Structures are given as C-alpha cells and as structure tokens.
Amino acid sequence: MKHALLALVLSLAATMAAAQSKQPLSAISAYLNGLTTVTAPFTQFNDDGSRSTGTLYVHRPGRMRFQYDGPDAPVVIAGNGAVVIEDPKSNQPPESYPLSRTPLSILLARRVDLGRANMVVGHDARGGMTVVTAQDPERPEQGRIDLMFGGSPLALREWIVHDETGGQTRVVLGDLTTGGALANSLFRPPNTSGNLNER
C-alpha cells in the first residue's frame, strides 16, 4: 500500500512539474508579438536526411530570409505575401508560393493569437521546453508547425514544419539577436525581374 501511495505521489509531482514548465499560450503569443527583428544561425534537418546551415533573418510582420551557407547557396525569402525560393545552381527560375499556404505564416502574422479557435492542436512540455503545435484554422490541410520554446526569459528554440504531403523539416536556432536594424534589401527576392514559377 505504501508503495502504491508513493508511486501516486511521484506521478502527481511529475505531472505538476511538467505543468509548471509549460508556458501558457497567452505568454507565447505576447512573446511572438513582441518580436520585431531576429537574426540567428540555424541548422536545418531535411526530410531526406540531409542537413544544411545558414543564417535566419526575420522582420515581423511578414518577412523572413533563410540565407544558406556556401557558394551559390540557395536562398528562401518571405515577403509581400509570398515565399520565393531561388537556387543559383539550378537552371530553373525562382519558384514562388503564397505565404498563406505555409505554416510559417503563423509566425509572421501581424498579430499572433494562439488562443484562436482551432489554431493550436497540441500544447505540452517536452524535455524542458514548451511545445505548441499550430495550424491555420482556415487551412488545416496546408500543414502544421511544432514551435518549441525554452529558457528564461522565453525564447524560440526550434520548429518542425509538417507539410501537406507528410514531409517534415526541422530548424534548430542558435542564439537569437533581437531588436536590431535589418536592411529591406534582405527581404527582396534576387533575380525576380521576370515571371516567377508559381505553385
């Protein structure tokens, strides 16, 4: 009987510790809304097992740039409601997707409200981090994103994008530099004077 009670107490203690380490959605929304500019190194783990590194630039609302390392490296830019992917090693012109069709639109929204109905489909504590799984409630078929927050003060550490085909892309962030000035040219797609290939 004593062993059963001890197990129950330990189980309750673990549950309470997990609950205490999970940040509320209101605090996470406030944190994201408080971000204006972000610069951070990143490591990207792709669905095919490959890995790449680079620098992330964010200017909220609406703008983001993934600058990959290496000569003739690809660049991914979000701005003006679109995501443009350019690979200098490819003979194809840049490809363009509506930003609204990607889960990253949740991060780049003018006002993040994770309390919105049907936006958050998962919210728990895992490995000392708060994990929020979110989707566009009006376009759930477009995929979802796992946002992982940790530290004190609160900080975005990584995310995993689950696309509509079932693929996953994980991005792990290094130390974030916030609040600095970022040039508008960072978010201007290069070599887009011609027509883009839209999907």
Strands 197-198 and 95-98: parallel
Q: What is the pLDDT of residues 126-182, one digit of tens each?
A: 989 999 999 888 887 878 999 999 977 899 999 999 988 888 999 999 999 999 999
What residues pair up with 178 in beta bridges, in sequence order? 38
List the one residue out of 137, 68, 75 whose CA is nearest residue 105. 137
pLDDT at 5: 39
How far apart are alpha carbons 12 and 9 in whole angstroms? 5
How far apart are alpha carbons 50 and 75 in whole angstroms? 17
H/E run at residue 146: strand 144-150
**pTM (2 d.p.):** 0.81
How far apart are alpha carbons 41 and 111 in whole angstroms? 25
Q: What is the pLDDT of residues 7-50, one digit of tens each?
A: 433 333 344 444 457 899 999 999 999 999 999 999 999 989 99
* Domain extents in the chain: 19-176
- Domain 19-176, CATH homologous superfamily name and number: Lipoprotein localisation LolA/LolB/LppX (2.50.20.10)
